[in-house]
Structure 1
Amino acid sequence: MSPKDLLLALVVIVAWGLNFVVIKVGLHGVPPMLLGGLRFTLAALPAVFLIRRPALPWRWLLAYGLTISLGQFAFLFSAMYVGMPAGLASLVLQAQAFFTLLMAVLFLGERFRLANMVGLLIAGGGLLLIGLHGEGRMTLAGFLLTLCAAGMWGLGNIVTKRIGKVDMLALVVWGSLIPPIPFFMLSYWLEGPEQIMGALEHLSLSSMFAIIYLAFVATLLGYGLWSRLLSRYPASQVAPFSLLVPLVGITSAAVLADEHLTVIQIMGTTLVMAGLIVNVFGGWLFKRLGTLT
């Protein structure tokens, strides 16, 4: 990966890491399905009138919008609404790396490398270590819903890879046109018109900030760059970078949301970093070791 693309990956990591505290802020005043609908409405409009639709069939836009946007965030927002802490949500969601690698093997014919396996095993141990020491605040419902969100993100990554080289900003913008109607329908069904009207009538500045951040930073900037990376590199090389998101997520949650880190969690984040290093540089290291033996 070139230094420029590595820097872009780090921008995505910070944007998405802070994203979880912002979601918590938004959910304080807006229910999850309504929050999702507002997020993607703002991400799509008025940008769809300024950016030409990407040159691909509508079925691929639908697949992208229904997986990486609607599916992922319907589950994630619901998970955090029922009590999933922001820092731990940022951690558990990174199971998407495992889903992406497995789906890339099944659907794209990509192959696991030894470095991928070793790196993900190390990082997975770190994720497990942190997840098992959540200070009793991680509910089973929140955990399962976050895993469902990770699965939808992984599937969306495969869709992005199948789409190939298109204008990625256009893909994100026009893909954001797909989720609002399903989100608003789910909101009407699950949350009801009274809760919807109450949230809109009493929309606070913090909720407005959250919606703007989620639309422009997390969606347009974050997914635009992420999709670009997936279009240029194998999914097995890009997906593990998201394992750094919990480092930002847990730290920002500790500083901004008073979700304190434990010694075990710090050990787990260290393992995650070690796993990423092995995944990125392990192939070169194993090759060097092979030449020395």
Structure 2
Amino acid sequence: MFKKAPACAPGLFDAENQTRKQDMSSLDRRDTLLALAVILIWGAHFAVIKAGVTQLGPFVSLTLRFGLTALAFAPFARWPGWPVFRRMAIVGVLMGVIHQGLLFAALGRLDSASVAVLMQSQTIFAVLMGWMILRERFGWRTALGLGVGALGLVVMLGVPDVAASLGGFALAMASSLVLSYAYIRMRQLSHVHGPTLIAVLNGVSFPFALLASFTLAAGDRGWAHAPAADWRIVGFVLAYQVGLVSFSHSLWQKLLARNEVARVTCYTLLMPPIAIAVGVIFMGTPLTRQLFEGAGLILAGLGIVVLRRVQKHRNAPLAAVE
């Protein structure tokens, strides 16, 4: 499955790429277009996941995604050594099994637009975890941004689909919290070969998702319902996830290697508006006042946090969900 890697094999996350970073005030035109393309893929992914879980259920969908992605990237993977593999496996369980499982379950209960907005709470959790775990400090402006973002989450409780399923809200919050912690653990993997990381994260997650698909999924959520699914939709969803989403992660890491990280991650603020637009146009999501106000408050608050990172030139990446 793995090829033996030389000690300093170049890769998407390699330290050699870090030396090529440019201290620029903004991204050049090419990287700006690439960043927008990645965010468009990630923003639309919420609606794609929603389409998938309505056909197969969350755990069956995850099993297929993890298995196919691991198979697709295994031929390009390199054995990282046991110490690195163990760290990758921990991140895989956190990011793949727990975060993705909770996210897919939330999308089974809520509209894709609502989940996309709620998942931005990962930035709030990331800053608070950095303060509690890594002893990172932040000033009153960042605290103000966190407060405004938290107020937006409260407003989101009034969105019709969220108000009708507080369990879905709790699942989205739990998914966001786990993702934030996974990104803290992922800082230890900054020099890992890109395809290796994707192959291991998905390969480690696959058996857990498979087990859950047999033990936790029932009725129209399990494998028994698979023959009745619309496999044209399922095929599109899997192609989107295995191909586009995986490629976008590799592209994102190249952007982070070439540019100041804080300036690249600013573009993640465009994800909720894109997700809302895709949900309204393709999924029939109602654009309510509560959704508009909640998303506006969350983005305003997180905008303050991201702006402070840019001003401080802080290169610890904010978590990005896809």
Q: TM-score range by the shorter chain?
A: 0.7 to 0.9
1:280 to 306, 313, 316: 306
Does residue 176 of the first structure (1) align with residue 176 of the second (2)? Answer: no
Question: For the structure 1 residues 50 and 171, does the alpha-carbon distance in structure 2 shift closer, same or farther, using more than 3 Å as the test?
Answer: same
How many Å apart are 1:235 and its aligned residue? Answer: 8.9
1:145 partnered with 2:152:
no
State the distance in 1 between where 2:178 and 2:270 align.
19
Equivalent pair of 2:262/2:306 in contact (CA under 8 Å)? no
Deviation at 1:80?
Answer: 2.1
Q: Does 1:122 align with 2:148?
A: yes
Amino acid at match of 2:240: Y
Moved more, 228-237 or 25-34: 228-237
Tell me how far 1:198 sits from its aligned partner.
3.4
- Offset from partner CA, 1:15-68 (integer Å, 9 cap, x none): 221111111111122121110011111211131112324466211111121111
The aligned residue for residue 27 of structure 2 is 3
Q: Which of the numbers 198, 205, 212 marks the counterpart of 2:239?
A: 212
**Once the two structures are superposed, what CA deviation does each residue of 1:227-277 show, in whole Å capped at 9, x if it has no partner?**
667789999887775443222112211111111212343233333443344
TM-superposed CA distance for 1:205, in Å, is 0.2
Q: Deviations over 1:129-183 (max 9, x none)?
A: 3342336664011111111111111111111112223233431232111111110
2:92 maps to which of 65, 70, 75? 65
Aligned residues of 1:157 and 1:230 also touching (Cα < 8 A): no
Mapped to 2, the partners of 1:243 and 1:222 lie a distance apart of: 17
Amino acid of the residue matched to residue 79 of structure 1? A
Is 1:162 the counterpart of 2:188? The answer is yes
The alignment status of 1:80 with 2:111, answered yes or no, reads: no
Distance 1:237 1:113, change over 3 A: farther
Distance in 2 of aligned mates of 1:108 and 1:233: 24
- Displacement of 1:193: 9.5
2:67 equivalent in structure 1: 41
Matched, 1:110 2:148: no
User: Identity over the aligned pairs, expressed in percent?
Assistant: 26
Alpha carbons of 1:71 and 1:242: their partners in 2 closer, same or farther (altered >3 Å)? farther
TM-score (norm 2): 0.75
Aligned to 1:22: 48
2:158 and 2:290 in contact (8 A); partners too: no
Q: Compared with structure 1, are the counterparts of its residues 149 and 209 closer, same or farther at alpha carbon in structure 2 (3 Å cutoff)?
A: same
Query: Which consecutive unaligned segments of at least 5 residues does structure 2 have?
Result: 1-23, 313-322
The total of aligned residue pairs comes to: 284
Partner of 2:15: none
Query: Could you tell me which amino acid in structure 1 is paired with residue 132 of structure 2?
Result: L
State which drifts further: 136-145 or 61-70: 136-145
| Inter-partner Cα distance in structure 2 for 1:232 and 1:116 | 26
1:67–1:265 CA distance, 2 compared to 1 (3 A): same
Q: 2:212 — aligned with what?
A: 186
Q: Secondary structure of the equivalent of 1:184?
A: helix
Question: Could you tell me how far apart the structure 1 residues matched to 2:281 and 2:228 are?
Answer: 30
Secondary structure of the residue that 1:259 maps to in structure 2? coil
Q: Secondary structure of the equivalent of 2:137? A: coil
Q: 1:107 corresponds to which letter in structure 2?
A: I
1:269 aligns with 2:312: no
- Give RMSD over aligned pairs: 3.2
Distance (Å, rounded) in 2 between the aligned partners of 1:238 and 1:276: 15
Q: CA separation in 2, counterparts of 1:284 and 1:60?
A: 29
Task: Report the CA distance shift for 1:93/1:277 in structure 2 as closer, same or farther (over 3 A).
Answer: closer
Kept in 2: contact 1:88–1:138 (CA 8 A)? no
Contact 2:76 2:196 in 1 (8 A): no
- Structure 1: give runs of 5+ residues left out of the alignment: 287-293
Secondary structure at the aligned position of 2:56 is classed as coil
Distance 1:227 1:94, change over 3 A: farther
Is 1:248 the counterpart of 2:277? The answer is no
| Farther-moved stretch of structure 1 (242-251 vs 131-140) | 131-140
The one-letter code matched in structure 1 to 2:286 is H
1:94 aligns with 2:113: no
**AA partner of residue 154 (structure 2):** L
Do the aligned residues in 2 keep the contact of 1:88 with 1:131 (CA within 8 Å)? no
